Amino acid sequence: MRKQINIQLYRMLIVLGAIAVLAAWNHDFVRIGIESNAYLNLTIIAVFIYGVSLAFRAVFSLRNEENAFNSLKEAYDDIQQDGERGATDPYWRHHRCLTPAIVVDRPRVLGHIYDLVYEELMRTRRLQISVGTMQQLISGISTRLSDDRSLLQYVTGLLVFLGLIGTFIGLMSMVGSVGGIIGNLASNNAAGAVDFNTLIADLKAPLVGMATGFSSSLFGLFTSLVLGLLARFSSNASNTLKVHFESWLASVSQIETGDDGDALIGKDGKLDQAGFGRLAGSMAGVTKTFKRLHRDLASTSGDFAEMAKGQNRQTGYMQRSVRHLQSIADAQLNLDRNLTSTLNRMTDALCQFEERSRQQTDALIEHNVQTASKVEEAMARLVDVLQAAKDKDAAGEAEIARGLEHLQATLHEAFPAAPEQADSLPGKTDPLAEAGEYNGGERRSPDSPMRGNAPRQDKDHELLEDEALMDEGTEADVPEKAAEGA
């Protein structure tokens, strides 16, 4: 382990030597770059030196960690060999007095792990650490190492940030000076003369700004790269210590497992009475464990059987529910079909009723038109008869009588047919007609004289009375019209 740590240290020294040689070879370039913005560039170099010191300090501090680790291994080896060499040579460890002792400080990386392991070795003369505890201890080492790495990473990022700050400062200075130069040129052109010496002097400021930006960015990036490489080597050295300690701790736990298994055997390698007692106790414990496991398995099997029965019952319930729902769905489907067919039949019946009603209505309208034309002809004939009565006195009465008879016959032929036509409608389904005729809240029979088909003799009597009144009016109007004509 010491050799591997030294290898990483030598690599870090080689990198620093190469940087020093490169800086000495281009010392003029480095000097000019630093002078372009001395404060900022020197700050970058100072931060770089601080980061390098942190990297080397982390590597050099591993020497104390290595000594502490070696002391743990030595203490464990002494405990293991004390039983074998202590009986034959009580002073077997005194040969160490010939070499100077190594003073070890309390380790920083191992820390709590060192205290715990050393105390366990001194107290119980053996190292018994569970796997979970060992993982926690290893994770503690990783945490402390990551703290050192994070500090180096922060310094590396700080170098990049300082380089960017120098770049922005140089750019701002250059832009401001260029603006001033342009303003001076505009004023000189207005005055009619240009001073080239002044122009050259003004161009110095933007060039200085560019030098500041480039030098700062160069120093920041270069130092951050070098410090990152040194941090990598330092991290490798720390990981070397961690890996060796972890492997040793794992091997110790394996050895302790083997020693615990050999506790039944005596010191001389043979089974004694105490060993037989411990073996019998172990076998009894194993037997009890198997019996308890058997009971647990039996109870678990019973629980699984009950669960299977419950699942079967639930499956039966689900199947019956599915069948019931299927029957309900079938009944609903049949009901929908019946309703659909009923609605279709009702629709067809309504269409047929509408068609018959339309045909009967058309026939009734046609009959009324014919009746109206006949009445119109009769009235025209009556007018002709009355006109002829004006010209004829004696013969006109006979003619009037014939005209009235003809009019009576025409009316008798036209009007009595209307009720018969209305009663003969095939689609007549009035509930009032079926239940009985109503007049003033009283029900009347179909033969009641209040119905529309009154006896024909009453209608003829009324027509004769109307004709007599018309004759009287005609006879009274004829002498008056004759007098007016005279």
- Of 122, 5, 9, 124, which is closest to residue 67 (Cα–Cα)? 5
What is the pLDDT averaged over residues 357-369? Answer: 87
Is residue 368 domain-shared with residue 226, that is, in the same domain?
Answer: no
pLDDT the model gives residue 48: 92
Is position 184 within any domain?
yes
The per-residue pLDDT of the chain, averaged, comes to: 71
Is residue 70 domain-shared with residue 213, that is, in the same domain?
Answer: yes
Instruction: Report how far residue 216's alpha carbon sits from residue 34's, in angstroms, rounded to the nearest whole number.
Output: 8
pLDDT the model gives residue 376: 80
Proportion of the chain in helix, strand, coil states, percent, rounded to 5:
85, 0, 15
Is position 322 within any domain?
no
Is position 286 within any domain?
no
pTM to 2 decimal places: 0.47
SS3 (DSSP) at 393: coil
Q: Tell me whether residue 319 is exposed, middle or buried, using C-beta atoms within 10 angstroms of its C-beta: 0 to 12, 13 to 18, 19 or more.
A: exposed
Is position 290 within any domain?
no
pLDDT at 288 over 50: yes
Token digits for 420?
A: 């018969």
For 89-118, the three-class secondary structure string (H helix, E strand, C coil) is: CCCCCHHHHHCCCCCCCCCCCCCHHHHHHH
For 154-180, write each residue's pLDDT tens digit: 999 999 888 888 888 877 777 766 666
Instruction: Report how far residue 25's alpha carbon sits from residue 369's, in angstroms, rounded to the nearest whole number.
Output: 134
Token digits for 227?
A: 């410090």
Is position 221 within any domain?
yes
Number of structural domains the chain divides into: 2
For 122-159, write each residue's pLDDT tens digit: 777 767 766 677 777 777 777 888 887 888 889 999 99
Give the residue from 261, 294, 310 where a domain finishes: 261
Domain that holds residue 252: 2-82+102-261
